[in-house]
Structures are given as structure tokens and as C-alpha cells.
Amino acid sequence: MKSQQAVQTTPTPDSAVVRGPDEVEVRLRVNGENRRMSIEPRVSLLDALRDRLDLHGTKKGCNQGACGACTVWVDRRRVLACLTLAISCENREITTIEGLADGDALHPMQEAFLDLDAFQCGYCTPGQIMSAVALLTEGHAGDDDEIKEWMSGNLCRCAAYPHIRAAIRRVRDEQGGDRAAH
């Protein structure tokens, strides 16, 4: 088969609303709260959270998608905030580490990380925890091999990996197995 021309369509011309490049008002829904800010479209979700909203729990380890420290949930899926533009998250539900605990009560995964010493310096930890909770929702924590593979998007230079797996196992088992925790 060779490349072929097919049905002719008539595209609408450039009718899209252009925002920026100067600062524009961006509204985000973060951890159940509506937040507004005036930012340039180039601002990443990560910098918007950390620098504009003082939600500094989400970390910046590489700014290139190579470490996972910036893991947050957008519409309940784990993604990397450093490669996401804040403006593209309007109308989406953003959850960060600050939105995980229920008031003073830690989320079971936070509790497990603490008890099993699943971190040392703690810098990768918010990303690990956001990833770990999502992992259980995704149903990829069946056994250790699966946990290893599906947690490999979060580097831990302190190399707390075996303890991170232990924490995930504990929450998985407490909550009645894979896919049950959320």
C-alpha cells in the first residue's frame, strides 16, 4: 500500500482562542479547592504548584520526566507535573501529596512509609507515595516483581526501594489485595 489521498475535508480556519504569551488567569482545582493565579502559559504544573500555590510537597528532581519526584494525579491518574503545563489542567482534578491525608490522620500509605522507613532524605517521598497509592488503584501490585516494575518511574537515590515495596505490600494486604485501595 502506498500513501494515498482520500476524502477531502474542509477544516475550520484558525478560530481557536489564543491565550498568552503574557500572563493570563488560570483556574485550577487542586485537592478539592478552586485556585486562581495569573501565570504565563509556559508555566509548568510543577512550578505553579510549588512557586505560585506554595504546594511545595510536589518535588522537582529533574524537570525532564526522568525521576518521578513531581508525581501528582490529574483526574486521579498519576502523571508528571514537570512535563505538564498548568494551563492545560483547567477543568481537571489535581491531587497532590497535600491532598492525601485526611486532616491529621495520615493516609495508610503515608503511615506505612513512616513505619517501614521507606525513605531517608524524603525528597522523592511525596512522588513515591502518590505513585504507590495510584499503583494499588491501577491493580499493579500483585506481587513484588510487579510492584518493582510499576514503581520504577520513581527514582530514590537513597535507595529505600525494598522498604517502599514493603510499605506497598502492607497497604495492599491490609486493604484486601490489589485494586482495593483508594
Ligand X SMILES: Cc1cc2nc3c(=O)[nH]c(=O)nc-3n(C[C@H](O)[C@H](O)[C@H](O)COP(=O)(O)OP(=O)(O)OC[C@H]3O[C@@H](n4cnc5c(N)ncnc54)[C@H](O)[C@@H]3O)c2cc1C
Question: Which residues here bind ligand X, judged by CB under 6 A?
Answer: 65-66
Regarding 133 and contact with other proteins (CB under 8 A), the answer is no
> CB–CB of 167/118 below 8 Å?
yes
DSSP 3-state of 93: strand
User: From CA 48, how far away is CA 86, in angstroms rounded?
Assistant: 6
CA 4 vs CA 1, 7, 9, 116: distances in Å: 8, 10, 15, 60
> CB–CB of 40/22 below 8 Å?
yes
Binding residues for other proteins, total number by CB under 8 A: 102
Residue window 20-59: x/- pattern of binding to ligand FES, with contact defined by CB under 6 A:
----------------------------------------
Q: How far is the CB of 31 from ligand X (least distance, A)?
A: 25
> CB–CB of 80/65 below 8 Å?
yes
Complete DSSP assignment for 144-180 = HHHHHHHTTTS--TT--HHHHHHHHHHHHHHTTSTT-
Q: Pick between residue 66 and residue 159 the one whose CB is nearest to ligand X.
A: 66
Regarding 178 and contact with other proteins (CB under 8 A), the answer is no
User: Which of ligand FES, other proteins, ligand X, none has residue 102 at its interface (CB below 5 to 8 Å by kind)?
Assistant: none
**In the bound complex, which residue of the shown chain has the CB atom lying closest to ligand X?**
65
> CB–CB of 128/154 below 8 Å?
yes
Q: Pick between residue 106 and residue 155 the one whose CB is nearest to ligand X.
A: 155
User: Which of ligand FES, other proteins, ligand X, none has residue 19 at its interface (CB below 5 to 8 Å by kind)?
Assistant: other proteins
Q: How far is the CB of 65 from ligand X (least distance, A)?
A: 3
Question: The C-alpha cell of 121 is what?
Answer: 532524605
Regarding 37 and contact with other proteins (CB under 8 A), the answer is no
Please calculate the CA angle 162-50-168 and round it to the nearest 5 degrees. 20
Write out the binding residues for ligand FES, residues 67-106 only, by CB under 6 A. Answer: 67-70, 80, 82
Binding residues for ligand FES, total number by CB under 6 A: 23
